[in-house]
Structure 1
Amino acid sequence: MFHPLRVSEVERLTDDAVAVTFAVPPELRETFRHLPGQHIALRRTSGGEEIRRTYSICTPAGADPVLRVGIRLVDGGEFSTYALKELAVGDLVEVMEPAGRFVLTPRAGRFAAIVGGSGITPVLSIAATLLAREPDARFCLVRSDRTVASTMFLEEVADLKDRYPDRFQLVSVVSREEQQAGLPSGRLDRARLSGLLPALLPVADVDGWFLCGPLGLVVGAERALRGLGVPRARIHQEIFHVDDAAAGATPAASSAAVRAPAHSTLTATLDGRSGTWPVQDGDSLLETVLRSRADAPYACKGGVCGTCRAFLVSGEVRMDRNFALEPEETEAGYVLACQSHPATAEVELDFDR
Structure 2
Amino acid sequence: MFHPLRVAEIERLTDDAVAVTFQVPPGLRETFRHIPGQHIALRRTVDGREIRRTYSICTPASDEPELRVGIRLVEDGEFSTYALKELAVGDTVDVMAPAGRFVLEPRPGRFVGIVGGSGITPVLSIAATLLARQPDARFCLVRSDRTAASTMFLEETADLKDRHPDRFQLVSVLSREDQQSGLPSGRLDEERLRELLPALLPVGAVDGWYLCGPYGLVQAAERALRGLQVPRGRIHEEIFHISETAPAEAALAGAAPPGAAATGIAAAGSSDAPLGGPASLRSPARSTVTATLDGRAGSWPVLDGESLLEAVLRNRADAPYACKGGVCGTCRAFLVSGEIRMDRNYALEDEEVASGYVLACQSHPLTEEVEVDFDR
Q: CA deviation at 1:40?
A: 0.2
Matched, 1:49 2:49: yes
Q: CA deviation at 1:329?
A: 0.9
- Quote the sequence identity (%): 80
Aligned to 1:350: 373
In the alignment, is the contact (CA less than 8 A) between 2:43 and 2:93 conserved in 1?
yes
Aligned to 1:290: 313
Kindly provide the CA deviation profile for residues 42-64 of structure 1, in whole angstroms up to 9, marking residues without a partner as x.
Answer: 00001221000000000000111
Kindly provide the CA deviation profile for residues 284-312 of structure 1, in whole angstroms up to 9, marking residues without a partner as x.
Answer: 00000000111111111111111111110
Distance 1:110 1:268 in 2: 41
User: Does the residue aligned with 2:239 lie in a helix, a strand or coil?
Assistant: strand
Aligned to 2:273: none
Question: Aligned letter for 1:252?
Answer: A
In the alignment, is the contact (CA less than 8 A) between 2:262 and 2:341 conserved in 1?
no
Query: Is the deviation greater in 250-259 or in 45-54?
Result: 250-259
Runs of 4+ in 1 over 2 A off after TM superposition: 244-253
Distance 1:124 1:54 in 2: 17
| Alpha carbons of structure 1 residues 209 and 218: separation in structure 2 relative to 1, 3 Å | same
Distance 2:228 2:47 in 1: 50
Aligned to 1:278: 301
Aligned to 1:317: 340
Matched, 1:237 2:237: yes
Distance 2:350 2:215 in 1: 16
Q: CA deviation at 1:254?
A: 1.8
Matched, 1:254 2:263: yes
Distance 2:246 2:181 in 1: 33
Aligned to 1:172: 172
Matched, 1:195 2:195: yes
| Alpha carbons of structure 1 residues 94 and 324: separation in structure 2 relative to 1, 3 Å | same
Q: CA RMSD in A?
A: 1.0
Question: Aligned letter for 1:263?
Answer: R
Distance 2:40 2:295 in 1: 22
Distance 1:243 1:177 in 2: 25
Q: CA deviation at 1:333?
A: 0.6
Distance 2:243 2:73 in 1: 15
Kindly provide the CA deviation profile for residues 297-340 of structure 1, in whole angstroms up to 9, marking residues without a partner as x.
Answer: 11111111111111100000001111111111111111110010
In the alignment, is the contact (CA less than 8 A) between 2:288 and 2:299 conserved in 1?
yes
Matched, 1:118 2:118: yes
Q: CA deviation at 1:245?
A: 4.5
User: Does the residue aligned with 2:329 lie in a helix, a strand or coil?
Assistant: coil
Query: Is the deviation greater in 302-311 or in 229-238?
Result: 302-311
Distance 1:108 1:304 in 2: 29
Q: CA deviation at 1:244?
A: 2.4
| 5+ residue gaps, structure 1 | none
Aligned to 1:204: 204
Query: Is the deviation greater in 220-229 or in 247-256?
Result: 247-256
Distance 1:347 1:165 in 2: 53
TM-score normalised to structure 2 length: 0.93
Distance 1:325 1:43 in 2: 23
User: Does the residue aligned with 2:103 lie in a helix, a strand or coil?
Assistant: coil
Distance 1:120 1:307 in 2: 21
Question: Aligned letter for 2:83?
Answer: A
Aligned to 1:333: 356
Distance 1:246 1:309 in 2: 20
In the alignment, is the contact (CA less than 8 A) between 2:71 and 2:83 conserved in 1?
yes
In the alignment, is the contact (CA less than 8 A) between 1:215 and 1:246 conserved in 2?
no
Matched, 1:74 2:97: no
| 5+ residue gaps, structure 2 | 251-255, 265-275
Kindly provide the CA deviation profile for residues 124-151 of structure 1, in whole angstroms up to 9, marking residues without a partner as x.
Answer: 0000000000000000000000000000
Question: Aligned letter for 2:219?
Answer: V
Query: Is the deviation greater in 294-303 or in 155-164?
Result: 294-303
Question: Aligned letter for 1:155?
Answer: E
User: Does the residue aligned with 2:129 lie in a helix, a strand or coil?
Assistant: helix
Aligned to 1:98: 98
Question: Aligned letter for 1:189?
Answer: D
State the number of aligned residues. Answer: 353
Question: Aligned letter for 1:301?
Answer: K
User: Does the residue aligned with 1:90 lie in a helix, a strand or coil?
Assistant: coil
